[in-house]
Structure 1
Amino acid sequence: MRQILLKAAVLAIGSAAASFLIVITIVPAIGGVVEGNAVLMTLVCPLVIAFPASAYTLWQKQKLADAFGQLAAAHEQLADAHMELAEAHEKLAEKARHDDMTRLLNRESFFAALKNSRRRTDTGVLLIIDADNFKYINDTHGHQQGDAALLLIADAIRAGVRDADLVGRIGGEEFAVFLGGTTAEEAMLVAERVRLGVEAIPFSPGEGKFLPLSVSIGAARLRPHLSWSQLMREADRRLYEAKRQGRNRVVFENGSQKAA
């Protein structure tokens, strides 16, 4: 406020000086005489009028500048809030798409991605992977050790497939992998790599004991005019066949590949 009053005073003095110069220049030129009262009015009137007018104008200008500053700050805060909200929404959406424990795609997200993948390819192989004898681990060593075993199996599956392949947890101890654009031979190699990866896990539930882990895998090849539900049923049938044959094996359309 002090700066406003000082600026208003300077403007008022300038107005008075300008008024005085105009009067002493023009009045004599038209034959008039500049006397004491006229000089006084020439100086006082601009001071009385210009000072409050200038002070009010400068004050309003300052208020407007402050308001614009506050508005700019509010816009900046709003932009930051929008960015934080977008990041939070993205993280929430990402979390909603993934299984809380394994961080693989959950069932809904896996099948949604599976449907979208058909727009890019009409070839590929679906693997349904189920942990063998998992109930025994939960019943004998507890669900905490069962969860630890599931995490190890999920890591082995993730390590056995390609980065572009779809991997999801579609049930308690059941996983699914879609190998887009692969041949039956390539898919069999991937499935066997996953099976061997799980078989090699050194899983210890505690007390210095080690339990073997294994998975059974059913595979089905995507073909023209074959729906996803039909593909799932075909892979499921082969998974049950792998279980029936003794577990720890891959069953595909050309037979099964057993554990070593």
Structure 2
Amino acid sequence: MKSIFVRSGLVAFGAVAGSLLLVITIVPALGGVVDGNAWLMCIICPLATAWPASAFTFWQSDRLKQAHRDLARVHAQLAAAHRRLAEKAQRDDMTGMLNREAFFAALDGSRRKADRGALLIIDADHFKRINDNFGHLTGDDALQKIAAAISRGVRSSDILGRIGGEEFGAILVGASDEEAASVAERIRSEVEQIHFAPVDDAVVRLTVSIGGTHCPPDGTVPELMRAADARLYEAKRRGRNLVIIGEVMVRAA
């Protein structure tokens, strides 16, 4: 308010100065005489009109600027909320990994951008037994521990997703077959080392089977999934707790 008063005062005094300048310039040129009443009117009229008018204008201008700032702030908040919601919509609530749809979209994008890479499908072994014997809440706890172990096993650039109930996917961007086998074995080992004792200190062994395939740039998502699935089923068939990447098999020690 003080700022408005000062600014409008400056405008009013400027109006007074302009009025006086016009009077002392034009009236004598027209043969008139500037007397005391003329001086008084030249001062009072601009002050009475310019000061309140400019004050109101400045007040409205400040309100408009504040409204614009508030609108910009709300817009930024809405944009941030939209980004958070969009991110949340792509995430699995339990593990924080990408959900199935987002993972497949990421897989499609990654194989278009790089001529190297690998896809892993990671499946928890005998997981139904945990749900049947201990209940689904205990099963959820086991899944979260497995998901954390998978996260520890991958590289920082890799992309993880939960693509089924107890099935996970990993996109190893730019990885060679040897790097993919190393990451997959690290995941398998991390899961195997989990100490999971849900009831009365009875330890339940957690393991995963992993199937993987190289990701050529011309390979489609269904083709890559079928190839990795075939390796996963082969790992299951050969006894589980096993990694098969292409033609490479890594068995637990």
TM range (shorter): 0.7 to 0.9
Matched, 1:109 2:96: no
Give 2:79's aligned amino acid.
Answer: A
CA deviation profile, 1:23-74 (whole Å, cap 9, x unmatched) = xxx7xxx9xxxxxxx9xx9434654675355312211100000001101111
CA deviation profile, 1:120-176 (whole Å, cap 9, x unmatched) = 212222111001111111121111111111111111111111111111111111001
Cα contact 2:114–2:217 (8 A) shared by 1: no
| Residue number in structure 1 paired with 2:117 | 124
Give 1:184's aligned amino acid.
Answer: D
Task: Rate the CA distance shift 1:207–1:118 in 2: closer, same or farther, 3 A.
Answer: same
Give 2:211's aligned amino acid.
Answer: G
SS of 2:203 mapped into structure 1: strand
| Residue number in structure 2 paired with 1:99 | 92
| Residue number in structure 2 paired with 1:61 | 54
1:145-224 correspondence to structure 2 within 5 Å: 145-223=138-216
| Residue number in structure 1 paired with 2:36 | 43
Superposition RMSD on alpha carbons, in Å? 3.0
| Residue number in structure 2 paired with 1:71 | 64
In 2: Cα distance, 1:59 partner to 1:224 partner: 72
In 1: Cα distance, 2:164 partner to 2:105 partner: 15
Matched, 1:247 2:240: yes
| Structure 2 residue ranges without an equivalent (≥5) | none
Task: Rate the CA distance shift 1:223–1:80 in 2: closer, same or farther, 3 A.
Answer: closer
SS of 2:132 mapped into structure 1: helix
- Give the total of aligned pairs: 237
CA deviation profile, 1:200-233 (whole Å, cap 9, x unmatched) = 0001213222111000111112236432211110
Q: Which has the larger radius of gyration?
A: 1
SS of 2:171 mapped into structure 1: strand
Give 1:228's aligned amino acid.
Answer: V
Task: Rate the CA distance shift 1:189–1:48 in 2: closer, same or farther, 3 A.
Answer: closer
Task: Rate the CA distance shift 1:256–1:56 in 2: closer, same or farther, 3 A.
Answer: same
TM-score w.r.t. length of structure 2: 0.83
Give 1:95's aligned amino acid.
Answer: K
| Residue number in structure 1 paired with 2:81 | 88
1:253 to partner: Cα distance: 2.8
| Residue number in structure 2 paired with 1:134 | 127
In 2: Cα distance, 1:76 partner to 1:253 partner: 58
In 1: Cα distance, 2:102 partner to 2:76 partner: 25
| Structure 1 residue ranges without an equivalent (≥5) | 31-37
